[in-house]
Amino acid sequence: MSKRPTWNIHTHTYRCGHAYGTDEEYVRKAMEIGINYLGFSDHVFIPGRSDPRIRGDYSELEGYIASIRDLEKKYEGRVTIKLGFEAEWMDEYADYYADLLHSKKVDYLILGQHCRIMHDRFFGYGYLPDVKDRLEFYCIDVLCGIQSGLFTYVCHPDLFTRFVGEWDQKCEEISHRICKEAAKYGLPLEFNFGNSRGAVKNFPGEPAHMTYPHPRFWEIAKQYDIPVVLGVDAHHPDHFLESDYDWAYRFIEALGLKLVDSWPLNSGL
């Protein structure tokens, strides 16, 4: 078998409402490709707010913790299992995130900025009428997340390509700002496999679709010499088998990015 990652800390569970399978099935499929360090990072549950089909309800927190901790014990010696969340930076919940880490309820958080809170509800950047605002708000939120010291890495930093029609000067600008800040704080950027399982895949040197991973973003990341980690972003146990790893390694090699096989978890302390 050609090369496969042995470390992945971007894994979802059915609790978010758009992922499938049992928690244990994710473990088994991950082991099938040779993963020996597996982190669960479901979309963070937020106390007092409901976000159906995007993230699990806060009432599921204890069950999530118990289930993953049980698997951690059950598979001890065969695969290292860690528990975390993929979370958006949100000022209002910084204390909650810090408490999740400090109380050791979870081992780590990864920064996956999909939305922000506006008008007292979750608001996807793509719904903002002005394209420049979408990019600027996304960028500011990612920068705050990086600066918070709570996160282990930045998930799909080029997610913003999905909010705009074409790569423009503003995309260029925010890519530099995100990469510069990640470099300053020593945070890796994640090369995300979510789209590798679909039809549209970019490759350096070819005309790019507005999706991630986007070659232009990663050309800029290269200039800052930032460590790059792989994130399967599994929403189904089979995603471990279906992700296009060969394409990813070729993409990363074509740009000469600094791929690292693993990265220490940031416990926020």
Q: Which is nearer to Zn ion, 214 or 235 (CB)?
A: 235
CB of 129 to Zn ion, least distance (A): 25
Stretch that binds Zn ion, among 55-63, 78-86, 130-138, 241-249 (CB under 5 A): 78-86
CB of 264 to Zn ion, least distance (A): 20
Neighbours of 65 (CB within 10 A): 14
Q: Which is nearer to Zn ion, 23 or 86 (CB)?
A: 86
Burial of 68 (0-12, 13-18, 19+ CB in 10 A): buried
Stretch that binds Zn ion, among 1-9, 62-70, 85-93, 217-225 (CB under 5 A): 85-93
CB of 55 to Zn ion, least distance (A): 8
CB of 158 to Zn ion, least distance (A): 14
**Measured at CB, which residue is nearest to Zn ion?**
233
The closest alpha carbon to 11, from 42, 47, 52, belongs to 42
Which positions from 89 through 118 interact with Zn ion, judged by CB under 5 A? none
- Cβ atoms of residues 46 and 93 within 8 Å: yes
Q: Which is nearer to Zn ion, 134 or 236 (CB)?
A: 236
Q: Which is nearer to Zn ion, 82 or 136 (CB)?
A: 82
Stretch that binds Zn ion, among 63-71, 79-87, 88-96, 253-261 (CB under 5 A): 79-87
Residues binding Zn ion: number (CB under 5 A): 2
86 binds Zn ion (CB under 5 A): yes
Which positions from 185 through 244 interact with Zn ion, judged by CB under 5 A? 233
Phi/psi for 121 (5° steps) reads -150, 165
CB of 155 to Zn ion, least distance (A): 6
Q: Which is nearer to Zn ion, 112 or 268 (CB)?
A: 112
CB of 110 to Zn ion, least distance (A): 8
Q: Which is nearer to Zn ion, 194 or 215 (CB)?
A: 194
Q: Which is nearer to Zn ion, 214 or 239 (CB)?
A: 239
CB of 235 to Zn ion, least distance (A): 6
In the chain, the largest separation of any two C-alpha atoms, in whole Å, equals: 52
Interface positions with Zn ion (CB under 5 A) = 86, 233
